């Protein structure tokens, strides 16, 4: 059994300009809010969007590509800008989690060629790689599984044996990996499980920390930075040239972590040419192994 509701999509001013609900081919309840900033608008939208049991439970955001330069540009101009500053963007992610939402951040999805045709006799290549790093209720595994059922993905990924294969990449210890193996079997999600050693990646966490953190070096933040830098190197090594799409558990923006340092983590783990989704559930179970 699966449990999925609708999503809230946050877009900057003018993105859907002159686009009717029918023209966008989107089924749902339309809510329009007026606010002084994108973050204020998001907070209002999360409160009023949806209806009854169809209220959204997932916040979707695009990745802020200019996160490391936007502050310099804003400092040179007194004019208001369309969109969110880096700090405001991270606070929007926090707002989503605090209001009980799951969060998805997409990057490079525009690189998917939906018009690509597979000729008869050609064998599709590529997998859907899932880096499920934290038990978030199962959303990180559920969304890729639903994706793999779509006709386009079945036609454009896989090999001669299996269509739209899911590779579940595990980086935990033996005990944690065994628990996840057991859960996957009970959930009946068909996937190939790949166990990885994150400690094989070599990174300079201290130098990275000094570059992107605006606060004094803290041991906890340095260790977290080292972890996500290693994860980024591991993802590049294991998925480049093999994956058609990547899903990664999104780091949680804990209070006290420098926003710029947090954005550097997101950038590092999604810095590939492959369409990538950073995803984290709100701990509500969306998968079950019970049959009704």
Q: What counts of helices (H) and strands (E) characterise the chain?
A: 9, 8
Q: What is the largest CA-CA distance in the chain?
A: 61
Mean pLDDT of 113-118: 84
State pLDDT tens for residues 60-96: 999 999 888 745 444 444 444 456 789 999 999 999 9
Residue-level pLDDT at 5: 40
Considering 24-33, 53-62, 237-246, the range whose residues carry the highest mean pLDDT is: 237-246
From residue 80, alpha-carbon distances to 36, 77, 85, 191, 231 in Å are 10, 8, 10, 48, 36
Mean pLDDT of 100-117: 91
223 vs 268, higher pLDDT: 268
Mean pLDDT of 12-38: 64
**144 has a pLDDT exceeding 80:** yes
- pLDDT bin (cut points 50, 70, 90) of residue 156 is confident
Residue-level pLDDT at 276: 97
CA–CA distance, 265 with 254 (Å, rounded to integer): 13
191 and 200 Cβ atoms separated by less than 8 Å:
no
Q: Could you tell me which residues come within 8 angstroms of residue 67 by beta carbon, excluding any fewer than 6 positions away?
A: 86, 89, 260, 263, 267
Mean pLDDT of 130-158: 88
Sheet (strand 127-131) strand order? 7-9, 58-62, 102-107, 276-280, 243-249, 127-131, 166-170, 192-195
Considering 112-126, 165-179, 248-262, the range whose residues carry the highest mean pLDDT is: 248-262
Residue-level pLDDT at 122: 78
CA–CA distance, 240 with 272 (Å, rounded to integer): 8
90 and 253 Cβ atoms separated by less than 8 Å:
yes
Task: Name the nearest CA neighbour of 54 among 24, 85, 30.
Answer: 30
Q: Which three-class secondary structure state does DSSP give residue 115?
A: coil
From residue 110, alpha-carbon distances to 66, 100, 207, 249, 276 in Å are 17, 28, 32, 21, 10
| Mean per-residue pLDDT over the chain, rounded | 80
Mean pLDDT of 4-20: 48
Residue-level pLDDT at 26: 64
CA–CA distance, 278 with 249 (Å, rounded to integer): 6
């Amino acid at each position: 059994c699966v449990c999925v509701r609708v999503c809230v999509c946050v877009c900057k001013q003018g993105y859907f300009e002159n686009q009717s609900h029918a023209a966008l081919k989107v089924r749902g309840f339309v809510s329009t809010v007026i606010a002084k900033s994108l973050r204020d608008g998001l907070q209002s939208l999360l409160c009023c969007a949806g209806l009854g049991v169809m209220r959204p439970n997932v916040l979707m955001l695009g990745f802020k590509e200019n996160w490391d330069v936007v502050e310099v540009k804003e400092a040179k101009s007194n004019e208001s800008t369309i969109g969110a500053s880096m700090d405001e963007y991270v606070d929007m992610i926090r707002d989503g989690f605090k209001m009980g939402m799951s969060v998805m951040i997409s990057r490079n999805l525009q690189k998917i060629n939906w018009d690509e045709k597979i000729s008869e006799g050609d064998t599709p290549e590529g997998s859907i790689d899932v880096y499920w790093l934290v038990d978030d209720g199962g959303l990180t595994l559920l969304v890729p599984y639903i994706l793999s059922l779509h006709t386009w993905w079945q036609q454009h990924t896989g090999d001669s044996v299996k269509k739209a294969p899911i590779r579940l990449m595990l980086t935990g210890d033996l005990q944690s990996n065994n628990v996840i193996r057991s859960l996957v079997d009970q959930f009946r999600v068909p996937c190939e499980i790949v166990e990885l050693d994150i400690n094989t990646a070599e990174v300079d966490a201290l130098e990275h920390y000094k570059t992107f953190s605006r606060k004094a070096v803290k041991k906890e933040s340095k260790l977290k930075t080292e972890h996500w830098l290693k994860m980024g190197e591991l993802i590049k090594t294991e998925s480049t040239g093999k994956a058609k799409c990547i899903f990664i558990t999104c780091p949680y923006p804990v209070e006290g972590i420098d926003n710029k340092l947090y954005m550097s983590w997101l950038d590092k783990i999604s810095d590939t040419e492959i369409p990538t989704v950073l995803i984290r559930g709100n701990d509500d179970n969306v998968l079950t192994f019970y049959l009704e």
